[in-house]
Every structure is written in structure tokens, then in C-alpha cells.
Amino acid sequence: MSDRPDPSAPRLAAPSPDAPSPDARRSAGGLRVSVDLNLCQAYAQCCYAAPDHFVLRGREALHYDPAPSASVRGDIERARIACPVQAIRVEDAGAARR
Amino acid sequence: MSDAETRIVVVGASLAGLRGAESLRRSGFTGHLTIVGAEPHRPYDRPPLSKGVLTGEVGADATALPNLVDLDADWRFGTPATRLDRARRTVTVETGEALPYDRLLIATGASARTWPDAAQGRFAGVHTLRGRDDADALRRDLAAGPKHVLVIGGGFIGCDVAASCRTLDLPVTLVETGPTLLAGVLGAHLGAVVEALHAHRGVTIRSGTKVVALEDDGTGRVVRARLADGTAIPADVVVVALGAVRNTGWLSGSGLSFDAGGLDCDADGDALDEDGRPDPRIVAAGDVARFPHPLYPGKPIALEHWGHAVAQGVRAGRRLAGLPEAPYAEVPAFWSSQGGITIKSVGLTAGADGLVIARGDPKEGRFLAVYGREGRCIAAVAFDCARWLPAYAERIAARAPFPPEPGGVDAGPMRVLPPAFPEPADEDAA
């Protein structure tokens, strides 16, 4: 019944003080991710596609990395496409939208 | 005037404002688009602010929302709107600049309700939680290892903050005036289930009592809270989680109809003036918009749900772009994670006169409850069984009879129970 992270489960990368800020990553082509958790039904396909960036804790509580680096674009795209209810939205900030 | 010369201003660099602006462009709008934000940040996602941001797992600056369409917008950050002049058709911002508009989207959202005693509310260590900067400030205070965290208010934000404190292994007391946590939105019957989850994780819960004063150490730093029964509890960090008030103050003098509960709109989403006439140039969306919902006749409602901000923002963008739109009738929905259990709800529970456990069993931690009013299904709440919920959303949209027919797979006996909402009904329960 605890939602404390299971130490054996994959951890989302915690922000490190040395890591570039998301705005810096944005200019370097970082990603922004949001999941519509109303739609999400915990099929966990994203967790298989990108295990370092999507984690289920408990039966249905999805935790995800909202600002992955551009180097994992392929994993994030696989997760987005794999979602059976299409709940994942990804912005490729390298597109420099304004 | 051709579309390319049309000027649209979006007030509120929020989830509703962003999705509304995207919807405008997707609907073919090619004119000038200005987006005004009170905060110095791009639109960001609020749900992580009371969870991963507080525990340090997600950086506050990582919550920026994906921008799904090239907006070609003139963004004005850190410049709150201060005045709306509908005769001149201008929005004035804090710098004094008056931005002209042909059409306007109002998505200014809401603010945390502050502690009623302003001087006590300014004590060091006292927080509210609504925006990114609030979350960052609270995260810093929690990371410093306080001895006793006090959360005032057992709604969703209060429950989230208390849960985050336990994840950080901090001692936390949650004081709620109602009979149980979340009683305003779920009723005490299911509120008791949620309360047990938090108690199991080590949150000290004081339901049915009230904090009447915060006290400092003589230097302006909070040290304890005084309860209605005269006893005191120590607290070096206090989070005031007493709901939200809508950001409508800047509309003073505009002639529109508003108060702290929202800006009044008609069924099309057009803002109403003080005489109840719609202003066809102005549409509102998200937390700030108070509108008549066809499924919930009677009092107009202003919803604080994430999905509502998206859906109503998208609809507002299409309407401002001149596309024909049916009145907004989305079934309200929200999710929350409490003590490791995912709670999902469709419909609105306010005013329910009955509750059945339609599937599963609260003792197993996995069940679905249906709320009814006057013989119709009005809401359903799932605890760790999201896949059952869409079928019930359809029943709510169809105003299906309550209680539901028994006999389905995994269906319970459909015994009607009292939902046990506190009296008077919580105005903010929606």
C-alpha cells in the first residue's frame, strides 16, 4: 500500500544540480513529455518501451520523466506509439516552436 | 476585416490557454496571436507540483508543457493583465501597455486560497501551493528536514503534500475540518478508505477539527498551530491547502459578471456581462470559467480538472477561430494517486443521494463506486480499476438509471449506501 519508490524498480533520473536546465536542454533539442492520466489505463506498454522514463508504481500509478534528453528520442517515440490509448504527448523542443 | 488582420489575445499562459492557442492555429487562424502570462514561466503542468517536485524527483523547471503546434505567438511572460476595457477592446497589462484585441480568450485560472489571517500567513515556513515557484519554495523547506510539517486542509492538494512528506520520511500532521479526508468530493464513506491509506503510510490525521491560529517564535517564523479545542501542535513548516479562488479581480470595471467563484459564461462559453448578455468577442476556458453543464442542471459550475482545461481550451480555440461548436458537454473527469492507489473519477458527485459499490470490494483495495441522484447515475469513482471506468462514463452521459442493474461480472450486490457528504455541501467539491 506504499507509494514509496520500490528500490528494485527502475528509477526515474532525479534532477542533478549539474544537469543543464530544461530550458538549456530545450535549446539543445531536449524533449517535453506529458501523459493524459485520464486516458491512461496502466497497460504499461510505455514502461517496456522506455523503462528509464516511464514507471508504474502500484497497480496503476504511472510516473514519468517530463523532460528527457534528446538522446533518448527513439525510446520516447516508441513509448508514445506503443500506448494503446494514445495518452502520451511529446514535444521535440529542437523544433524551436514559439 | 480579413482573418490575417484579426488580433486574438489569450490571457493566461496556462494549460487551458496553451491548448486553446494551439486549437486556434489548428483551426486555421492566421492572424496576430498574443499570449499574456502573469508568471515568468512558459505554460507548465501542475499535477507534478504536489508530488514529484516536492520529493525532488522532478525538477520544477521540468514541468514545462509540450507545445504541440507552432503557435507563432507573441508571448508576454511575467506581465499579469490588470484591466479589461470592452469598449476600447483592450487588455491592459502590468507594464501599462494596452493590447488591442478583436477576440479574447480568458484562461486566468485560480490562486490558492490564503490563510485568513494575513500576518500569520506571512510567517516564514508558511506556504500555499499552486504555482511552480510555490512548489520550489516548499521543496526547499522540506529538503531542509523540518521536524513537524502541518498540512491544513484534507482535499487533494493537502493529501498529496502529506503523502510527499511521508515519501521524504518527514513527520506530518494533516488537519481537516470535515469528517474524513476528501469528504467534500468523495463523501465520508469513500473518504474513510482514503484516510486509512494515508494513516497506514504514517500521516497523523486530525479530522473534524480546525486550526484557528498559527503562532511564531517572536521573530516571524512559525512554530506551532492552535486548534479549536485550545490544544497546540508543533509545526515548523505549514502548508495551507484550503482550495482555490478564481483569478477574476482584474475584470473589475469590465462590466462582465464575475466573482471569486469564476467568470460567468453561457452554454457556448461566451462571457456574460452584468445584465446576463453574452459578449461574442470573449470566451473563457478552464478553472476560471463558470458555465451551465447540460448533465448537471441547476447551478453553473467552474471545474478545476486537468482534462477539463484541455477540452474546454480546445473548444474555445475552435469557437474563436469561427468554427461552429456544439455547447460544451464533456463528462468531467479527474485522476489522483493516494497512498499508492490510483483514484479516477467521471461525472460529479456533488448532491449525490446514494452510492453503490458496483464492482470489487473496498477491503481488497480495488473497487468501483457509482454515485446516484434522484434515480440517475451522476458519477463513478474507481480505486485501482481504471479500465472499468469508461463504461460508467457512458452511463453517466446517458443519465442511466441508478442503482445500476445487478448481475454483471465482478458486480457487487448494488446495495445503496449513504455517500455521507458533510453538511453544508462543500462549494469547492467540484
Tens-of-pLDDT digits for all 430 residues of chain B? Answer: 467 889 999 999 999 999 999 999 999 999 999 999 999 999 999 999 999 999 999 999 999 998 888 899 999 999 999 999 999 999 999 999 999 999 999 999 999 999 999 999 999 999 999 999 999 999 999 999 999 999 999 999 999 999 999 999 999 999 999 999 999 999 999 999 999 999 999 999 999 999 999 999 999 999 999 999 999 999 999 999 999 999 999 999 999 999 999 999 999 999 999 999 999 999 999 999 999 999 998 899 999 999 999 999 999 999 999 998 899 999 999 999 887 899 999 999 999 999 999 999 999 889 999 999 999 999 999 999 999 999 999 999 999 999 988 766 666 678 899 899 987 644 444 3
| B342/A contact by beta carbon, under 8 A | yes
pLDDT at position B409 is 60
The C-alpha atoms of residue B71 and residue B65 are separated, in whole angstroms, by 14
Which residue among B56, B68, B340 places its CB closest to the CB of A2?
Answer: B340
CATH architecture of B3-111+245-320: 3-Layer(bba) Sandwich (3.50)
Antiparallel, parallel or unpaired: β B262-264 and B289-290: parallel
Q: Is B56 left (phi over 0), alpha (psi -120 to 50) or beta?
A: left
Residue with cell 476585416: B1
| B199/A contact by beta carbon, under 8 A | no
Record: contact A22-B306, CB cut-off 8 A: no
pLDDT at position B414 is 81
Q: Quick one: closest CA in A to B57, which residue? A: A14
pLDDT of A23 strictly over 60 = no
Alpha-carbon separation of residue B48 from A77, B61, B62, B174 (angstroms): 22, 11, 10, 20
**Cβ under 8 Å to A: B residues 60-119:** 61-73, 75
The C-alpha atoms of residue B393 and residue B231 are separated, in whole angstroms, by 45
pLDDT at position B337 is 87
pLDDT at position B423 is 77
Partners of B382 in the β-ladder:
B344, B368
pLDDT at position B297 is 87
- What number of CA atoms fall less than 13 Å from residue B120's CA on the CB side? 16
User: B340-397 in CATH: which number?
Assistant: 3.30.390.30
In chain B, which residues fall in CATH 3.50.50.60?
3-111+245-320, 114-242
Virtual torsion, Cα B339, B344, B345, B346, nearest 10 deg? 180
0.80 exceeded by the pTM?
A: yes
pLDDT at position B427 is 47
Chain A contact residues (CB < 8 Å to B): 1-5, 12, 14-15, 21-23, 26, 32-34, 36-38, 40-42, 57-61, 63, 65-67, 89-91, 95, 97-98
Q: Quick one: closest CA in B to A21, which residue? A: B61
Contact B303, B287 (CB under 8 A): yes
pLDDT at position A2 is 42
Greater model confidence, A19 or A44: A44
Residue A12 banded pLDDT, cuts 50, 70, 90: low
> Which of the four CATH numbers 3.40.50.620, 1.10.3720.10, 3.40.50.300, 3.50.50.60 does domain B114-242 have?
3.50.50.60
| B50/A contact by beta carbon, under 8 A | no
The C-alpha atoms of residue B253 and residue B251 are separated, in whole angstroms, by 6
Virtual torsion, Cα A55, B22, B44, A90, nearest 10 deg? 30
pLDDT at position B189 is 95
**Cβ under 8 Å to A: B residues 249-288:** none
pLDDT at position A1 is 39
Record: contact A41-B386, CB cut-off 8 A: yes
Name chain B contacts of A22, Cβ cutoff 8 Å: 59, 61-62, 64
In chain B, which residues fall in CATH 3.30.390.30?
340-397
Residue with cell 470559467: B289
| B306/A contact by beta carbon, under 8 A | yes
Residue B235: all three cell numbers together: 509545526
Residue A9 banded pLDDT, cuts 50, 70, 90: very low
pLDDT at position B413 is 73
Alpha-carbon separation of residue A33 from A28, A30, B4 (angstroms): 16, 10, 32
The C-alpha atoms of residue B161 and residue B49 are separated, in whole angstroms, by 9
Other C-beta atoms within 10 Å of B411: how many? 16
The C-alpha atoms of residue B290 and residue B430 are separated, in whole angstroms, by 11
A7 to chain B, closest Cα gap in Å = 13
- What number of CA atoms fall less than 13 Å from residue B282's CA on the CB side? 27
Record: contact B70-A95, CB cut-off 8 A: yes
Record: contact A14-B73, CB cut-off 8 A: no
